[in-house]
Amino acid sequence: MTGPAHVVIASWPSYTGGTEDMGAGTPATAVRRGRRRASGALECEVLATLRRADTPLTPREVQERLPGALTYCTVVIILRRLHGKRVLTRTPRGRAYAYAAV
């Protein structure tokens, strides 16, 4: 038999939430730089993107207009949550939905 097994427990890095001011004329939005976004910050960014748009946007179009690198799946989840809260309307467009702010 060999010696006792050693277990290494890794700790998660600590994160702090919050928003950062991005300059004059730009709303204070959370920028991901090794920190988690404040609760609801991503929903606010998505909603602001849809309000700036002239027409309803598909998840791919929203993803392209958002700053940072968000996955398509993350954008779809946020859009579905906002639609469930009745903040957005959606209409079928091809194989996806196009979302617009209420």
Two tokens, residue 76: 């779809």
Res 16: pLDDT: 43
- Residue-wise pLDDT tens digits, 39-68: 799 999 999 999 999 999 999 999 999 988
> Which of 81, 55, 77, 93 lies closest to 63 in space, CA to CA?
77
- Amino acid (1-letter code) at residue 101: A
Q: What is the pLDDT of residue 39?
A: 73
Please state, for a pLDDT cut of 70, what percent of the chain lies above it.
66
The reported pTM is 0.64
Instruction: Report DSSP state, residue 14.
Output: P
